[in-house]
Chains A and B, each alone.
Chain A
């Protein structure tokens, strides 16, 4: 490596270590430092690795975790970028961390969770082996403006990678629009019977679902039938599993290994994550756009045991500053069963007042709803009895709740 690249890599590694020791989740600063010193650093650090990119609106983190589990069980050496570090500087930091100072890479694969706009940026700098697009929905109105922007950036990125194998969602028209008959890429489609493109990984039947897991049946690319037990709840996680199974196909991972991985995969930070406070199960769901939030509400509604609902809404830059998306979430449907379903509903976060307004318009019984700013108080309240507590949170609210929770129970840090 050139002296410049060595210096940049060293600084990235050093600052990563310092941040970790001082307990900060800030996983993007090291990459920012590295890029300032060597603007071409990503190209240089990535050239000896096979790269898997996971992008899309919802499900990136969970799908990446599933693929990681599969690579691990298949004995493939790889590294992945930490949750939340899916922008360019976070990705650079991950590469720097996994490259030794004499330029040697320690792994065969880089498994990278990548924000959609960032994918376009880095698609000009690296050579990608496999691309997974989970779905494309309306998201981050303040940043993306409209859905055509998201489609265009991913499309451009794909056009920069004609040799990459694409794993695409055959049920999502926006994803289907990313390619056409002239596309040179090998494509593996995943989806169900309603898909307009014939899926190579086909969801045949959902056999069983619960608030913790699900069981379903697929056909693999060569027509083999496989029964899958997934250790995560919700139809949206079944879709993420289909994406991961398509990636397994692209990476020549045996279906049996893929199946075993999905059986054991644990939830990612804040994504259907389950933690126990005293005897109360807390289920964490990250929400950020209408499609994702509506799916989470459907999951909660389909398991109507008496429970508590907590919704924490922030509007910092990382959460998305445009709150109008909550008006497109189907709260009306949940409102109809909310009287019997929820013992109490707690609203918190910076924009709790907007959320209360939204819920009143949706038809919730406002007597069941309370606004509490203090996360400690909410955690104390919900842990008074052992019924399920569903916690919907935006991105920065996730960290705030976790901090409050970490003072009461022993949980892993943000960056694990």
Chain B
């Protein structure tokens, strides 16, 4: 079948702002190349079979959803584990990424066990970092907006997605941003990330299609390139936010 099937995990709970743009970037660029797509909204009560899908989108969430989400995600944990081992393409963002780690530690030091699918842990920070930032992924410059107080620390078995050039990244200490494991791309970048990073969007799409033995003729929009270049230029002159008024 020609169709690319996208699993949008728990859109009712994992629904931080701007994520509509990420899914739109995926579908419009595939459809521009005559590849049809279908987005499947997966809810916690559904039977979930990861083998049916080519791409998994796990968005961010609000802190108060964390309690509900851990048991719900644990129900589909075996399928997510299969998807990761099977080199399926997964994009996990912000709190959605955090829940895939080993544990989350709050300000009082109390630890909550998370899915343990990836070798990192999370510690709640005191201050929320909210600013535009720039990081490098294998030579690609990626711009986004980071907005999180959580800090993640990667274990030995886990590579970061990229290196922070301007901004804070995973923890503001070790210059790492996000995670990369098999074809799972994890990042804190909101914005949303894909529309304004056409090269990165192309990378994600090619990764998806590689498992379907399909080629992609990717055509970035002029507006995508312009939005990307504006932020890269601004961040490279070390301006994460506009001047005070």
Q: Report if B51 contacts A (CB, 8 A).
A: no
Q: How far is the CB of B26 from chain A (nearest CB, A)?
A: 12
A interface vs B, CB < 8 Å? Answer: 138, 141-143, 145-148, 290, 314-318, 321-325, 327-328, 350-351, 353-354, 356-361, 366, 396, 399
Whether the Cβ atoms of A324 and B245 lie closer than 8 Å is no
| Residues 190-236 (chain B) with a chain A CB within 8 angstroms | 190-192, 195-196, 221, 223-224, 226-227, 229-230
A366–B244 Cα gap in the complex (Å)?
Answer: 32
Whether the Cβ atoms of A357 and B223 lie closer than 8 Å is yes
Q: Please give 20 more A-B residue pairs, beta carbons under 8 A apart, in addition to A327-B19, A353-B227.
A: A142-B130, A142-B131, A145-B128, A145-B130, A314-B242, A316-B242, A316-B243, A317-B244, A317-B245, A324-B21, A324-B191, A327-B21, A351-B230, A357-B224, A357-B227, A358-B195, A361-B21, A361-B195, A366-B223, A399-B245
Shortest beta-carbon contacts, A-B, top 4: A324-B18, A142-B130, A327-B18, A357-B223
Whether the Cβ atoms of A322 and B190 lie closer than 8 Å is yes
Whether the Cβ atoms of A361 and B227 lie closer than 8 Å is no
Whether the Cβ atoms of B241 and A141 lie closer than 8 Å is no
Q: How far is the CB of A89 from chain B (nearest CB, A)?
A: 15
Whether the Cβ atoms of B63 and A354 lie closer than 8 Å is no
A142–B132 Cα gap in the complex (Å)?
Answer: 11
B interface vs A, CB < 8 Å? Answer: 17-21, 24-25, 28, 62-64, 128, 130-132, 145, 147, 190-192, 195-196, 221, 223-224, 226-227, 229-230, 241-245
Whether the Cβ atoms of B18 and A317 lie closer than 8 Å is no
In the complex, which residues of chain B have a beta carbon less than 8 angstroms from the beta carbon of A399? 245
A357–B201 Cα gap in the complex (Å)?
Answer: 15
Q: How far is the CB of B80 from chain A (nearest CB, A)?
A: 25
Whether the Cβ atoms of A145 and B147 lie closer than 8 Å is yes
Whether the Cβ atoms of B132 and A321 lie closer than 8 Å is yes
A361–B62 Cα gap in the complex (Å)?
Answer: 26
Whether the Cβ atoms of B196 and A354 lie closer than 8 Å is yes
Q: A151's closest neighbor in chain B, by CB? A: B64
B245 partner, pick from A141, A316, A356, A360, beta carbons under 8 A: A316
A392–B123 Cα gap in the complex (Å)?
Answer: 40
Q: List 5 A-B contacts (CB under 8 A).
A: A145-B147, A146-B64, A318-B245, A327-B17, A357-B226
Q: How far is the CB of B221 from chain A (nearest CB, A)?
A: 6
Whether the Cβ atoms of A148 and B62 lie closer than 8 Å is yes
Whether the Cβ atoms of B63 and A146 lie closer than 8 Å is yes
Whether the Cβ atoms of B242 and A361 lie closer than 8 Å is no
Whether the Cβ atoms of A324 and B130 lie closer than 8 Å is no
A148–B66 Cα gap in the complex (Å)?
Answer: 13
Whether the Cβ atoms of B147 and A142 lie closer than 8 Å is yes
Whether the Cβ atoms of B244 and A316 lie closer than 8 Å is yes
Q: How far is the CB of A362 from chain B (nearest CB, A)?
A: 9
A318–B242 Cα gap in the complex (Å)?
Answer: 10
Whether the Cβ atoms of A356 and B226 lie closer than 8 Å is yes
A147–B128 Cα gap in the complex (Å)?
Answer: 15
In the complex, which residues of chain B have a beta carbon less than 8 angstroms from the beta carbon of A148? 62-64
In the complex, which residues of chain A have a beta carbon less than 8 angstroms from the beta carbon of B244? 316-317
In the complex, which residues of chain B have a beta carbon less than 8 angstroms from the beta carbon of A314? 242
A353 partner, pick from B21, B132, B226, B241, beta carbons under 8 A: B226
B242 partner, pick from A321, A359, A366, beta carbons under 8 A: A321
In the complex, which residues of chain B have a beta carbon less than 8 angstroms from the beta carbon of A353? 223, 226-227, 229-230
A315–B191 Cα gap in the complex (Å)?
Answer: 13
Whether the Cβ atoms of A322 and B130 lie closer than 8 Å is yes
In the complex, which residues of chain B have a beta carbon less than 8 angstroms from the beta carbon of A324? 17-18, 21, 145, 190-192
A145–B191 Cα gap in the complex (Å)?
Answer: 14
In the complex, which residues of chain A have a beta carbon less than 8 angstroms from the beta carbon of B28? 361
Q: B63's closest neighbor in chain A, by CB? A: A146
In the complex, which residues of chain B have a beta carbon less than 8 angstroms from the beta carbon of A145? 128, 130, 147
Q: How far is the CB of A9 from chain B (nearest CB, A)?
A: 27
Q: How far is the CB of B20 from chain A (nearest CB, A)?
A: 6
B130 partner, pick from A321, A327, A360, beta carbons under 8 A: A321
In the complex, which residues of chain A have a beta carbon less than 8 angstroms from the beta carbon of B18? 324-325, 327-328
Q: B230's closest neighbor in chain A, by CB? A: A353
Whether the Cβ atoms of A327 and B223 lie closer than 8 Å is no
B241 partner, pick from A138, A321, A358, beta carbons under 8 A: A321
Q: How far is the CB of A16 from chain B (nearest CB, A)?
A: 19
Q: How far is the CB of B223 from chain A (nearest CB, A)?
A: 4
Q: How far is the CB of A356 from chain B (nearest CB, A)?
A: 5
Q: How far is the CB of B40 from chain A (nearest CB, A)?
A: 21
A325–B224 Cα gap in the complex (Å)?
Answer: 17
Whether the Cβ atoms of B242 and A315 lie closer than 8 Å is yes
Q: How far is the CB of A169 from chain B (nearest CB, A)?
A: 21
A314–B245 Cα gap in the complex (Å)?
Answer: 11
Q: A140's closest neighbor in chain B, by CB? A: B130
Q: Please indicate which of the listed interface residues A143, A147, A316, A399 has the most CB atoms of chain B within 10 Å of its own CB.
A: A316
A411–B131 Cα gap in the complex (Å)?
Answer: 35
In the complex, which residues of chain A have a beta carbon less than 8 angstroms from the beta carbon of B196? 354, 357
Q: Please indicate which of the listed interface residues B19, B128, B242 has the most CB atoms of chain A within 10 Å of its own CB.
A: B242
Whether the Cβ atoms of B145 and A356 lie closer than 8 Å is no
In the complex, which residues of chain B have a beta carbon less than 8 angstroms from the beta carbon of A142? 130-131, 147
Q: How far is the CB of A367 from chain B (nearest CB, A)?
A: 12
A314–B195 Cα gap in the complex (Å)?
Answer: 19
In the complex, which residues of chain A have a beta carbon less than 8 angstroms from the beta carbon of B131? 142, 321
